[in-house]
Amino acid sequence: MNICVVGVGYVGLVTGVCFAEKGNVVWCVDINENRIEMLRRGGIPIFEEGLANLVSKNVSCGRLSFSTKLDDGLDGSDICFIAVGTPPRENGETDMDQILSVADDIGRCIKGPCFIAVKSTVPVGTNRMLCDRIGARLRERGVDHPFEIISNPEFLKEGVAVADCMKPDRVVVGAVSEGARSLMRELYAPFAHESKIFFMDPASAEITKYAANTMLASRISFMNEIARLCDAVGADVRSVQRGIASDRRIGEHFLSAGCGYGGSCFPKDVTSLCGIGEAYGLDMTLTSAIEKVNRAQKLQLPLMVRRRFGEALGGVKVALLGLAFKPGTNDMRGAPSITLANDLAEHGAMIAAFDPIAQENARDVLPPGVAYGSGVMDVLRDADAAVLVTEWPEFLSVDWAAAGAVMRRKILFDGRNVYDPAALEPLGFEYYCIGRGKVPS
Ligand SMILES: NC(=O)c1ccc[n+]([C@@H]2O[C@H](COP(=O)([O-])OP(=O)(O)OC[C@H]3O[C@@H](n4cnc5c(N)ncnc54)[C@H](O)[C@@H]3O)[C@@H](O)[C@H]2O)c1
């Protein structure tokens, strides 16, 4: 098939290259000229395992092209995917500017019958709204090309996005016509067995995406609340986690307590779902509590540091290990490291930080005084405390005996509960973590 993907970010680029890898001819279109220029020169604007190789392979064999002009991608395409951002506004509502602007562009460009699939995460009713918007542009042009908007939310996980896209757990398709359903069936056949392609109405597809993310976020917030209870009563949240994960009705995923969830999706999607319900006059008590718990959880690490060193952190050097919102990505959106670094900087701490991949993006969002190191030992040198924020694999094998020798004080805050106090305490480390009874008094 000939495919156009509009929006070449984490979702659009990964989706586009995976469609190309399965033999489709794909145009990826973005208004960001620097991004398109970089891709044309062989650069990759985001970090995802395996992405760079797939992009260069598919560009070389002529199946993947990049443009800033929608016409280049839309001409002759069987389907156009929209994968632009839907960030939150200050008031928590979804900012629809990018997606409505794409709808206008599509309405001005299409030259014949067209299927348009929405991969962006969008509030219920967007499918209808885009129909109206594109229809209005077509009427202005005095043309009447038939088109259908398909809701096809994306569930890939940053860090393993290529693998997720190539082998999705399921494909959700909100479509009204048999033509749209059959096109999507054909397109996704190389990716997923037909039993894993779920057809439904567009509104249900739109809600499915929000419900999935909110469910996952709720499990994390729930475990973080249990972690606080564990700290209060002297229990160990990791034992509790094992105890409940073994229940097949519960399962093992998304039950790790830590320093709060981040990323570009969970915080905004939970808030957005809440807003959607409230707009329909519903009481969204449970959903609104999920983000409230998470906001409080992101403050746990800085609170622990201040409880240990006092409110005035002048002269205290804190080394942050990991900055990205999770391992495997350079995405800093909503990362707990932002809350932590801002809080520590406000209280006068000297901050040294290292992340294997996200450091460049971090410079744009962390306070200006943060010093970036070239490796773990570099930032730990003369540090009064280390804080593990993102559990990159290389941080799991730190030689803490050697690290202790270069640190000014051997104090470790483990925001992800990955280290073993029985190994660290004999080395002379004060070890603090989440929900295991090890908090500064
Ligand atoms: N990042 C994820 O893990 C993930 C997972 C599932 C779903 N989603 C959803 O997918 C959507 C995209 O997310 P993302 O993380 O890829 O966003 P992103 O910010 O990384 O990328 C969006 C891209 O769209 C481009 N863009 C904006 N307006 C445009 C226009 N008018 N025409 C062409 N391009 C335009 C931007 O320049 C940018 O490159 C969002 O709705 C998000 O909620 C994201």
Q: What percent of the chain has pLDDT over 70?
A: 100
Q: What is the DSSP letter of 87?
A: P
Q: At what angle do helices 237-245 and 202-233 cross, to 10 degrees?
A: 140
Query: CB neighbours of 321 closer than 8 A, spacing ≥ 6?
Result: 354, 376, 379, 386, 387, 388, 389, 390, 392, 395, 398
DSSP result, 210-229: HHHHHHHHHHHHHHHHHHHH
Residue 90: per-residue pLDDT: 87
Distance, CA of 159 to CA of 331 (rounded, Å): 9
Q: How far is CA 122 from the centre of its chain?
A: 15
Q: Could you say which architecture CATH assigns to the domain 299-433?
A: 3-Layer(aba) Sandwich (3.40)
**Cβ < 6 Å from ligand 1: which residues?**
6-12, 29-32, 35, 83-86, 98, 101-102, 119-121, 154, 156, 158, 264-265
Distance, CA of 266 to CA of 261 (rounded, Å): 7
Choosing from 28, 109, 259, 265, the catalytic residue is: 265
Can you tell me which atom of ligand 1 is nearest the CA of 86?
Answer: 41
Answer yes or no: are the C-beta atoms of 385 and 409 closer than 8 Å: yes
Q: What is the pLDDT of residues 356-396, one digit of tens each?
A: 999 999 999 999 999 999 999 999 999 999 999 999 999 99
Distance, CA of 295 to CA of 261 (rounded, Å): 9
Residue type at 354 in one-letter notation: F
210-295: in CATH 3.40.50.1980: no
CA–centroid distance, 351 to ligand 1, in Å, is 31
Q: What is the mean pLDDT of the chain?
A: 97
Q: What is the DSSP letter of 297?
A: H
Instruction: Report the chain's C-alpha Rg in angstroms.
Output: 24
Mutate to test the pocket of ligand 1, among 154, 169, 330 (most ligand atoms within 8 A of CB): 154
Strands (E), 188-338: 197-200, 317-321
131 among known catalytic residues: no
Q: Out of 3.10.180.10, 3.40.50.720, 3.40.630.10, 3.40.50.1100, select the CATH number for domain 2-200.
A: 3.40.50.720
Q: What is the pLDDT of residues 103-118, one digit of tens each?
A: 999 999 999 999 999 9
Can you tell me which atom of ligand 1 is nearest the CA of 13?
Answer: 16
**Fold equal for 2-200 and 210-295:** no
Please tell me the pTM assigned to this model. Answer: 0.95
Distance, CA of 324 to CA of 187 (rounded, Å): 33
Nearest CA to ligand 1 atom 25: 7
CA–centroid distance, 265 to ligand 1, in Å, is 11
Can you tell me which atom of ligand 1 is nearest the CA of 8?
Answer: 39
| Per-residue pLDDT at 22 exceeds 90 | yes
User: Can you give the residue ranges of every domain in the chain?
Assistant: 2-200, 210-295, 299-433
| Per-residue pLDDT at 91 exceeds 90 | no
Nearest CA to ligand 1 atom 1: 10
Confidence of residue 435 (pLDDT cuts 50, 70, 90): very high
Which residue shows structure tokens 């509590």? 289
CA distances from 136 to 10, 95, 106, 131 (A): 30, 21, 11, 8
At 149 the three-state DSSP class reads: strand
CA–centroid distance, 181 to ligand 1, in Å, is 24
